[in-house]
Amino acid sequence: MRDIAGRGFGRRGFLVAGALAAPAIIAGEARSQSRTLTVADPGGPFGEAYGKAFYRPFEQQAGVRVVNVARPAEPTAQFRAMVDTRAYTWDCCILTLSARDILMRQNLLEPINLPQSDVPDVMPEALTTHWLGTDVYATILAVRTDRIQGPAPESWADFWNVQRFAGRRALRRDPIDTLEQALMADGVEQASLYPLDLDRAFRSLDKIKPHVAAWWTGGAQATQMLQAGEVAMIPTWNGRAQPVLDAGLPVKIVWNGGLYSIEGWGIPRGSPRADLARQFIRFCADAQRQAAYTDALAYGPTNLKAYDHISPARAAVLPTAPDNLKVMRLANEDWWSANRATATERFNAWVLR
């Protein structure tokens, strides 16, 4: 599972013309199934942000009650139990890419019946036959500009350049993202990252290891180190750097070389309220609805038309804003799914050397 336990928050619907013109159709379908839709999200600020953007507006539109509950970090076991017992605790759930892929392989997801032609402004990588991505988060380089002398680093090569860019550094004690950063620092282009060259990555890490002042293991720890000024530069999730920036501290987010990932809605296979869940998911693809959550969550909408409804100042700190998205790449979940155990074992042994 990629980066979901401690990623934290900065705080991880598109209606077709006919549905927009005839909300009573949705309401009628909703009444025929149930007056309640239970959705599972990551909890915390998600409840408030998604409540404003999705839950309350869909209640008004469809005439149903939306109940949101917090899901576990990796809800694949819960999906299996629901499908096997046909006792459905949730009607749909926010899933990361890796959780989505696990559930797809196990045939535990319902089709969502949302073709790309119906949502042409949604990022293609945010839509599959069984899943709709609704938000994008990114691993970036955060810099405390008051803790360095001279220009701030602009790339992972700069982070590795301890002579030109002096200052205390931290790295994440995990191979995910760290290996990619090491390769980019060594000159590997983003488009050529995968499959990861582990030997080259660890040679690059050997160069920076003596200069790493701290290793972090959780998102809250990374935020605290940045807020306290314990380090001048640290790779972390954009949602963990944003509150420090919002607090008025001199923090710069370097999007160049960032790695982004997506999370969104899936439906447990066999759910008796699958049709209602599909209506809700379609609703969540709407540009204005996605724009509404960005006030509270520093995550990027997957419907890029949402930026027509987001202020330029807020857009500048969101991962899918055009200027930010073009200098990042989507992390390759297929590679990590196949190689995580090997990479983690090697990384942990390397850290202890």
User: Are 17-137+261-318 and 138-260+330-352 in the same CATH fold?
Assistant: yes
pLDDT of residue 35: 83
Contact call for residues 148 and 233 (beta carbons, < 8 A): yes
> CB neighbours of 114 closer than 8 A, spacing ≥ 6?
127, 132, 278, 281, 282, 285
pLDDT of residue 10: 40
Which CATH superfamily hosts domain 138-260+330-352?
A: Periplasmic binding protein-like II (3.40.190.10)
Give the integer Cα–Cα distance in Å for 268 and 273.
Answer: 10
Q: Tens of pLDDT along 202-248?
A: 999 999 999 999 999 998 999 999 999 999 999 999 999 999 999 99
Give the integer Cα–Cα distance in Å for 166 and 152.
Answer: 10
User: Domain map of the chain by residue range?
Assistant: 17-137+261-318, 138-260+330-352
Q: Which amino acid is at 223?
A: T
Residue 115, pLDDT above cutoff 60: yes
Residue 26, pLDDT above cutoff 80: no
Residue 29, pLDDT above cutoff 50: no
How does DSSP classify residue 320? T
What percentage of the chain has pLDDT greater than the value 90?
A: 86
CA dihedral 203, 205, 209, 210 (to 10 degrees): 40
In degrees, to the nearest 5, what angle opens at C-alpha 45 toward C-alphas 41 and 49? 80
Helices (H) and strands (E) in the chain, counts: 16, 11
pLDDT mean across residues, the chain: 91
Structure confidence at residue 2 as a pLDDT band (50, 70, 90) = low
pLDDT of residue 269: 97
Give the integer Cα–Cα distance in Å for 11 and 297.
Answer: 5
Ramachandran category for residue 129: left, alpha or beta (phi over 0 → left; psi -120 to 50 → alpha): alpha
Give the integer Cα–Cα distance in Å for 325 and 238.
Answer: 13
In total, the chain counts a number of residues equal to: 353
Q: Tens of pLDDT along 267-276?
A: 999 999 999 9
CATH of domain 17-137+261-318: 3.40.190.10
Rounded average pLDDT over 150-164: 95
pLDDT of residue 150: 84
Tell me how far the alpha carbon of residue 26 is from its chain's centroid.
29
Q: Tens of pLDDT along 178-194?
A: 999 999 999 999 999 99
pLDDT of residue 12: 32
For CA atoms 61, 66, 70, 71, give the dihedral sign: negative
Q: Is the peptide bond before 195 cis (omega within 30 degrees of 0)?
A: yes
> CB neighbours of 145 closer than 8 A, spacing ≥ 6?
152, 250, 251, 252
Q: Tens of pLDDT along 301-328?
A: 999 999 999 999 999 999 999 999 999 9
pLDDT of residue 15: 29
Q: Tens of pLDDT along 77-107?
A: 999 999 999 999 999 999 999 999 999 999 9
Helix (H, G, I), strand (E, B) or coil at 266: strand
pLDDT of residue 73: 84
